[in-house]
Amino acid sequence: PFVDEIRTQLDPERHPFYQHSEAAFFFASSADEIVGRIAVLENTRYNDYHDERTAFFYHFDVVDDGAISRALFVAAFDWARGRGLDKMWGPQGLVAADSKGLLIEGFEHRPALGIAYNFPYYGELVEDAGFEKGVDLVSCHMDRQTDISERYVRVAEKVKKRGGFRTVNFRTKAEL
């Protein structure tokens, strides 16, 4: 995610999530250095709609250290239990459009916008905290030399016209 996007997510005055729900943010430090973080969310709209008491974790980032990871998850679990929440899913962000899940394979490819990208060891740390895989999210990679069927090209052009979409190429980060 972009830095400004995260700043907005962390600011209860700017992000609409906080109009109906709450979050807590925990970090771990060692020798004046941040070595891990986690956000835990109570999305009351989700829980009301599904008649559940589910917490979500997000913004999990940690060095490769099981003890630090476990301490972050214990803090998240304690916060959730203190609010009467009885299960936790994640990673799942503040809104449905946020990136969700963990990357478990495909680390040889560059990250894509909106798709989870993390260190390979995250899967083990999350499983160590007691989580199990709930669903597979699949992303695909195509390089520029991949042949695309003419039929797909025609459909894409129709969708672009009807939806008012356009393709934009950026030459520099500044243009992006």
H/E run at residue 33: strand 33-42
For 34, 162, 166, the CA distances from 12, given in Å and listed in that order, are 22, 37, 34
Task: Return the number of other C-beta atoms located less than 10 Å from residue 18's C-beta.
Answer: 15
What pTM, to 2 d.p., does this model score? 0.80
pLDDT, tens digit only, all 176 positions of the chain = 678 888 888 899 999 999 999 999 999 999 999 999 999 999 999 999 999 999 999 999 999 999 999 999 999 999 999 999 999 999 998 888 788 899 888 888 888 777 888 999 999 999 999 999 988 888 777 777 888 889 988 999 999 999 888 888 888 888 88
Q: Determine the pLDDT at residue 3.
A: 84
Q: At 176, list the tokens.
A: 């992006």
Asked if 83 and 52 count as a contact pair (C-beta separation under 8 A), the reply is: no
For 73, 138, 143, 144, the CA distances from 38, given in Å and listed in that order, are 8, 24, 34, 37
Q: Determine the pLDDT at residue 98.
A: 83
Helix H segments across the chain? 3-10, 44-50, 66-82, 122-128, 150-163
How large is the greatest C-alpha to C-alpha distance in the chain, in angstroms?
A: 58
Q: At 64, list the tokens.
A: 């490769």
Q: Determine the pLDDT at residue 77.
A: 98
Q: Determine the pLDDT at residue 147.
A: 85
